[in-house]
Chains A and B, each alone.
Chain A
Amino acid sequence: MNWLLGGGFTGSVLSFLYPVLRFVNPPAVPEASVNEVNAGKVAELKPNSAKMVKFGARPALLIRVNETEWRAFSAICTHLNCTVQFHEAKHQIWCACHNGLYDLNGQVVSGPPPKPLEEFAVHIRGEEIVIARRA
C-alpha cells in the first residue's frame, strides 16, 4: 500500500518535472545557414589592416595582409568565445580576453586557445570582396 502510494506520488512528481525540464531547454532555432557573405570593397581596406564582417549571426575578421594577399577567419576565439581582432603592430590576430595570439594563418602562437581559428576563403570579384565558408 505504502509502496503504491509512494510510487504514485513519485511518478506524478516526475511527470510534472519532465515538461518543465524540456521547457527550460531552448528549442533549436534553425540558423539561416550562411555560407557566403559580401565583405565590402577592395578599396575600403588599406594593406596591413582589417575589419569585422557580419557572417550570418556571428562575426568574421577580414584581413588585408598586403596589396594582394587577403585572409578571413571566423572571429570567434576557440578558447572561450570572445571576439578576436587584428593586431597591426604585431601582425597577428589577438584575443583580448586571455591574451590568445594567432598567426595570419589562424594557427595558435601563444596563449590558451586550443585550436586554430576557422578560416574562410576570400574571393575578389572585381572590386567586390566575398568571403565564404570552405567546403
Chain B
Amino acid sequence: MPAAETKTRVANWLEERLGLAAVRELMAHKTVPVHSSSLWYYFGGITLFLFGIQVATGMLLMLYYRATTTEAYESVQFIMTRVEFGWLIRSIHSWAANLMIFTAFVHMFSVVFLHSYRRPREMTWWSGIVLLGLAMAFGFSGYLLPWNKVSYFATKVGADVASSIPWMGQALGRFLRGGEDVAGATLTRFFAFHVVILPATTIFLLLFHLVLVQKHGMSTPPWIGVNGARQMPFFPNFFLRELMAWYGALALLGVLAALVPWELGEKADPFAPAPAGIRPEWYFLAEFYTLKLIPNHVLGIEGELMGIFGFALLALWWVLLPLWAVNRNGMIRVRLVTGIGVLLMAYLITFSLLGYFL
C-alpha cells in the first residue's frame, strides 16, 4: 500500500472517531487583531505556558519531596544536592512560580488598559481574577513546603492575618493551620492544597477561561472600532509568535535557574526567635507593607482589622470593575478605568518596593 494511501486511511480513521475537522475549522477561523498594543495579547499565553512548566516540574519534585516537619527540609536539601539536576528542577519550579504570578498580573493589567473586560467578557474577567487568586494560593502554600525559617514565620503571620478577620477568622485560621499553631498538621494540609486541591481547581477554571476566550474571540480596544483593526490568523501566524515568546520565557527561566539557584535557607525551628528580614513573597509585599504602616489602633479599632477591611473593599471593587466601568448609556468610561488602573498599579509597585527595601 503506498504511503499516501495509508496516510489518508489513518486520517479517515481518526476523523471518524475524533471529528478533528471541527477543530481545524476553528483554528482556521480564529484571528487576533493587529494594532499598536497587540503585544499584550501574548501574556495570557505565557502565563499558561508557565503553569504547564509548574505542573511538569511539580510532578518531578513530588518524586522526592516528603511533607513532614522532620523530613521536608532534608528532602528538599536532598533534591538540591544529591538528585541529578535536582537543583535545576527545583529552581525552575520556584522561578517559574514567581514569573507566572508576574505575567498573570501583567495579563490582568493589560486587560484593564485594553478594556477587554467589557461586555460580553465579564465572566472571563471574573474567572481570571479567581485564577490569579489561585496562583497566589499556590505560592502561599508552596512557600511553606521547604519548612525553612523564613517560610515558617511568613506562614504564621499570613495565617494570623486570616484569623483576625471578624466572625469567621478563627475558623478560617484553624482551617488553614489544621490546628492552633503552624506545625506538622499545617504542612500536611498545605501539601494537599498545593499538589491536589489547587491544581484540580485551577485546571477546571482554566478550561472555563479558555473556552470563553475562544467563544468571544480576541477583543479590540474601544478606540479602534469594530472594523478598524487588521486581523492576523491565529494559526499559524499568532501561534508561532506565541511559541517564540514561550521559548523566550524558557530561556529566561534557564538563565535564572542556572545563575541564581533558589535558596533553601535554614531549617525552621518553632522555638527560635523570628530572624530579621521576615517577609512574604513579593506579591504579598504591598499588603504587608501597608499593614506595617497602619498604627496599632485606628479610631479605637485594631489597625490590622482596618487594613484587612480596606483590602477586602478594594478587592471587591476591583472584581466588580466590568460593572462600574460602563456609564448609563452603556459606554465604557475609558479614561476613568485607565486612570484607576494606573493608580492601582502605582500603589502596588511603590508599596512592594518599599516593603522590599525597608
Contact = CB atoms under 8 A, between A and B. Distances in A.
Contacts of A34: none
A19 interface: no
Interface in B158-194: 159-161, 164, 171, 174-175, 177-181, 183, 185
Contacts of B275: 96
A96 B295 CA distance: 17
A113 B272 CA distance: 19
B273 A75 contact: yes
Interface string B255-282: 0000000000000001111111110000
Interface of B: 153, 156-157, 159-161, 164, 171, 174-175, 177-181, 183, 185, 270-278, 291-292, 294-297, 302-304
Interface residues of A, number: 30
Given A26-B178, A112-B304, A114-B302, A82 B271 contact: no
A57 B181 contact: yes
20 contacts: A24-B175, A26-B179, A52-B272, A52-B273, A57-B181, A57-B183, A75-B273, A77-B274, A79-B296, A80-B157, A80-B304, A81-B156, A81-B160, A83-B271, A83-B274, A85-B273, A96-B274, A96-B278, A98-B292, A113-B296
Interface of A: 24-26, 29, 31, 52, 54, 57-59, 61, 75, 77, 79-85, 95-99, 108, 111-114
A29 B160 CA distance: 19
A81 B157 contact: yes
Contact of B160 (A31, A80, A114): A80
Contacts of A99: 292
B291 A112 contact: yes
Contacts of B164: 80
A81 B157 CA distance: 6
Nearest to B292: A98
A76 B157 CA distance: 11
B273 A114 contact: no
The listed residue with most A CB atoms (<10 A of its CB), out of B273, B274, B277, is: B273
Given A108-B296, A112-B303, A114-B304, A82 B278 contact: yes
Contacts of A96: 273-278
Contacts of A85: 273-274
Contacts of A84: 273-274
Query: Which 8 A-B pairs rank lowest in CB-CB distance, beginning with the nearest?
Result: A85-B273, A82-B274, A80-B160, A81-B160, A96-B276, A80-B157, A96-B274, A81-B156
Nearest to A55: B271
B310 to A, nearest CB: 15
Contacts of B276: 96
Contacts of B291: 98, 112
A97 B275 CA distance: 8
Contacts of B295: 112
B161 A80 contact: yes
Contacts of B157: 80-82, 97
A79 B292 CA distance: 11
